[in-house]
Chains A and B, each alone.
Chain A
């Protein structure tokens, strides 16, 4: 998704773009994503600024692409499960409002007017109308197609070509070299490997997540609904399983239940406990789901960075190399802003946001 957005904005900035992927379009984490365009889960700071920029750009793309990318400005509802957590949630929302987020506290009947099937007796929630949704695989495919970029799928990059002074001059693939003066690393969870190929380092780690998908239902859940402890999970450094359900209905009918988080490397086996925890969380929020059947689940590997911020911008260690990866679970949402900023730095414009917090070389060199 991030690569597709970079391709779109770079080509609109007048650049000639080639998209190279070792798999198909949306074959990595994009194809396993829910398509969350969230501001609600971000605390004030550089990531929220990027999310607000991205949110605005997604709104523009929605005008252009219409239903093809299944954009839906459905809004988010963050539920407090105890009076104490409602207080914490309201305090959190105050900070977000100051940063430009629209957040409305809802309680009692107002909450159940938003989501009639929520469990009874919940103290309250915060409604975030800016939270939106796209279908990530469709969005990636349509952005690439509209960009006019040359799309080379099934081509793995085996080497980043550099001149004797270390400047990037293209990439080598198993079926030929591609010469370009700039290379954008949008390899997501595998962005660390690409950085290594370019002779530098980027600490991108996989963080596994599962999403449960139910049978098709009439619309019973209208927003992205999740419990307040989600916010704590995102900022957590714990490697233990932490599950907080994001429950949402989709235009196509199924309900998606997502956001388990584990740092277990690239393990694709199916652990029943993680799926049980998702189901338990979802049925606590929406008791009617107990009788609804899960028909599948899918796993993805979020690109996780030690400080939970992506790497965006030029790599001062390798001239000509730009990074656009490490967005953890927010990559779909942050893709537009990232692509826009990358296009600005590629064309030597001043980026619309300060890129200092996203500097790729902000981490100490790894000592192998």
Chain B
């Protein structure tokens, strides 16, 4: 068994699962590492077992795909060809002469180190949510849209009674319907995109009947529940003293500016807000993988430009779970062939490649339609906290830009500490880029998560290895 080539897959969401199953089915020994207690990632997040959910599929679409993936994973784990390491928080992937070492911390305390050696690495690290600041966004009761959905899927409940769902992106509809199904009253769905833009991109969007049907399904559910939907609107402020009490929503003009006098106050105790997703690329960057904009660059086989490193799913560009499944499958097949010492035959994954092409076009069309208002930074007041970790305000960032000559995210960080804190700018970098008037660029984060110095100080050579791999 141990003489078979060994692939480490990082991330057990749709891409990582599809890759694991595909590679294991083609003769590769796989170690699947993930920070969660169960497989599924953010998309197929599972309710905690002790909740004994009767119908967890009610919160998920495409449940059949998930069951097939989970079944495949279980089969390979039982057969010994896949080892699934849950609660493993990967902080670094080290490239050595002819192999890789994946360094992880065991959760939930993330104190004890584990090292996994592998012949190749497949990065399926997913994405994280982008949230742009506005006055009041730090009040208790304001959640990210994805955070609200994660609570629904994982805990089967949210605390609020009346919610506003706002921002932009395809996530808002399922979040709103999910909250409504959980018994939360949806006071408003606020989307900054212009419906006319959908019409303009209708060809690319119509090429995906399944996806459109999915969207239409959510829209029909909202209609049935008589949810007020505002398009070309944005949340300009969240109100409250101890916690959220209401939001002010206003209309946008054609240039993406708030139209004066259109503000309306909507009482609510929950605001789920999101402005799209960004890829997790920390591990790829420390490995030296080339990025294309914010995304890990891959070839037709999902290989990065670093030999022995594949990438699939949101880390190579935000595109949703169906695209992640296709990319994961291709990556797993390619890795299996390459590790066995031969070039793969792309015809073997022709169906996945075809759907990958279509879904990438669809994602590009969606990306051009869903966009935050062009002048969203005008809503950041001088005392709006932009970097929550270091408590850096809008005025401090504006001063660095106008008075001290900072024109990029790194210089703003050096001059204001915005992005230097615990989250390392994952949260505030898009906002800082907006205020500095520059494009958002990847920022190097050598550690994918904080690591105790005592762990860093010692080379650990007692991993959870079986055999002498």
Contact = CB atoms under 8 A, between A and B. Distances in A.
Interface of A: 24-27, 31, 137-138, 141-142, 144-145, 151, 153-154, 212-216, 252, 254, 257, 268-270, 272, 275-276, 279-280, 282-283, 289-298
Nearest to A142: B404
B459 A293 contact: no
B92 interface: yes
A291 B452 contact: yes
Question: Which label, helix, strand, loop or mixed, suits the secondary structure of the B interface?
Answer: loop
A153 B452 contact: no
B454 interface: yes
Contacts of A27: 410-411
B453 interface: yes
Interface of A is mostly: mixed
A215 B110 CA distance: 15
Contacts of A298: 446
Contact of A292 (B94, B103, B453): B453
Contacts of B452: 290-294
Contact of B454 (A137, A145, A268, A283): A283
A137 B415 contact: yes
A279 B454 CA distance: 7
Nearest to A271: B94
A137 B422 contact: no
B347 interface: no
Contacts of B410: 24, 27, 31
Interface string B417-454: 10011101000000000000000000011110011111
Contacts of A26: 411, 414-415
Contact of B424 (A25, A270, A296): A296
A141 B421 contact: no
Given A276-B459, A290-B452, A295-B450, A137 B414 contact: yes
Contact of A296 (B406, B445, B453): B445
A25 B450 contact: no
B442 to A, nearest CB: 13
Given A25-B405, A25-B406, A276 B456 contact: yes
Contacts of A254: 420
B407 A153 contact: yes
A148 to B, nearest CB: 13
B96 to A, nearest CB: 10
Question: Which residue, A31, A212, A275, A293, has most C-beta atoms of chain B within 10 A?
Answer: A293
A144 B405 contact: yes
A215 B422 CA distance: 7
Nearest to B288: A269
Contact of A24 (B94, B390, B407): B407
19 contacts: A24-B405, A24-B408, A25-B404, A26-B414, A31-B414, A137-B414, A141-B400, A145-B405, A212-B453, A214-B453, A268-B444, A269-B286, A270-B446, A275-B446, A275-B456, A276-B458, A283-B454, A291-B452, A295-B421
A93 B446 CA distance: 38
A130 to B, nearest CB: 26
A215 B404 contact: no
Contacts of B447: 294-297
A145 B403 CA distance: 8
Contacts of B255: none
Nearest to B105: A293
A27 B410 CA distance: 8
Contacts of A215: 422, 450
A273 B434 CA distance: 37
A24 B453 contact: no
Contacts of A252: 390, 417, 420
Contacts of B288: 269
Contact of B457 (A24, A213, A290): A290
A279 B453 contact: yes
Interface string B392-412: 000000001001111110110
